[in-house]
A = this chain, B = another copy of it.
């Protein structure tokens, strides 16, 4: 049986991380990589790893040529928003390629873009392929894991999901998006003008949970506040002087029957330990029985997103055609054996 053939679109931290993971797995091969800026270079050279027995893969800026390698699935790690990534997903599916997207909004695209979600579903069905958005969050920690735990409950009254994570492992782009190192007034200006990204995904997570358990979410709100440090904090790619912004505290609420029933808290900052903050993922569900979960430290975001996307490959290939969410597919799982054994014919 032939190996599972994977193509990558995007070769930044996520795309190259997925490539590295795939190279360590059995029964799967990377057949092509599309990236604008690294055209012609070997992925092994860029990642600075030994090629070993793997065939070489040269980055190609021409997506048509990459699609001609006849991949079973494409991993697309280029955007955060459904609107920006839509044309890429469409093109891939029209070429009969299944798709997994890292775009946060794609984890539950009907939350922000119901029309685009419907279009994606129709395109997928016309071409007999599936498309899924996933990642660590949205995708698992503040939504699917919450949903899974409610499975042990006879009744749910209130859900709180909190993710306290460190931005220290991330690069310059993330520092900029999250406002690390800027002054408080610059931060406020960035929030007002919409230039600070913060965490993308609360609306997706809240609607995913609401739809899963049968709570129609009638209103969604979110807030973005600076985490102002009282000490100088230094991370590999970021620095925040005392009095400046060390990160962003995002909060979000989903209203059901006139009250906040789904509550999200997600403070992200560099070097949280310097002011006594311990990182972790927390899920607290009121109802019967109550559930109080903690993961300490938090599941690492970068590795977690890479793993989720690669680990969902067999589920997406096996799925009936259409737009899928994590709610539709079997639970994610690590792949320690041969990936071919997981593909149903």
Q: Hey, which bits of chain A sit against chain B, CB under 8 A?
A: 21, 24, 136, 140-141, 144-145, 147-156, 212-216, 287-289, 291-297, 299-300, 303-304, 306-308, 310-312, 326-338, 341-342
Contacts and interface: CB of A to CB of B under 8 A. Distances in A.
Given A289-B304, A341-B214, A332 B151 contact: yes
Given A214-B338, A214-B341, A151 B333 contact: yes
A148 B332 contact: yes
A307 to B, nearest CB: 5
B289 A331 contact: no
Contacts of A296: 292, 294
A334 B289 contact: no
Nearest to A137: B152
Q: State the oligomeric state as a number of copies.
A: 2
B336 A331 contact: no
5 contacts: A148-B332, A152-B307, A155-B334, A214-B334, A327-B333
B299 A336 contact: no
Contacts of A310: 154
Given A136-B152, A154-B310, A341-B214, A331 B147 contact: yes
Nearest to A336: B214
Nearest to A329: B330
B152 A333 contact: no
A24 B155 contact: yes
Contacts of A145: 148-149
A243 to B, nearest CB: 33
Contacts of A327: 330-331, 333
A27 to B, nearest CB: 10
Contact of A152 (B214, B332, B342): B332
**Most-contacted residue by chain B among A141, A216, A293, A308 (CB, 10 A):** A293
**Most-contacted residue by chain B among A154, A213, A303, A310 (CB, 10 A):** A154
B293 A295 contact: yes
Contacts of A144: 148, 331
A337 B215 contact: yes
A155 B151 CA distance: 27
B293 A333 contact: no
A136 to B, nearest CB: 6
Contacts of A140: 148, 151-152
B336 A156 contact: yes
Contacts of A295: 291-294
